[in-house]
Amino acid sequence: MNWEHFTLEQLRPVMTRIPFFVQWGIELVEFGEGRAKIAVPLSPALANIYGTLHGGVPLSLVDSVTGLAVWSVVEEGQWITTVEMQLHFLTSVRELNGRLMSSGWVVQRGSRLALAEGDVTDEAGRLIAKGSATYLISEK
């Protein structure tokens, strides 16, 4: 799909129709063909039992941002579904204030599968997690 005619401002309202994004306060920061970037505010609500960031947060961010990146390269009328993910947790997040940033990009798109990679950083640019996801491309 050709996304050149969509501005970031036009796409942001679409993100408000994704309940998960609304619940976590996820913001679309960048979007283009084969790439996306999102941000999420940190809060104690995202903590695990030890008071550090729950591992499901970076996993969900990479799933979301790589999905957006793949979504930008499929044809109108096609859907994508995550079929496999891998995530490497590189460091913990102890201070649950500020924001996390997550960037995703398409590595390869075939007729039925797409591979994307993504990462999660803190506001200082420290790499928190890095991963990849495979998506099934299907007709609606």
Query: Of 65, 37, 53, which Cα lies nearest the Cα of 125?
Result: 37
> Per residue in 88-122, pLDDT tens?
999 999 999 999 999 999 999 999 999 999 999 99
When pLDDT is cut at 50, 70 and 90, the band that residue 1 belongs to is low
CA trace torsion 30, 36, 42, 46 (10° rounding) = 160
Q: What is the mean pLDDT of the chain?
A: 93
The fourth-level CATH superfamily of domain 8-139 is: Hotdog Thioesterase (3.10.129.10)
59-95 tens-digit pLDDT: 999 999 999 999 999 988 899 999 999 999 999 999 9
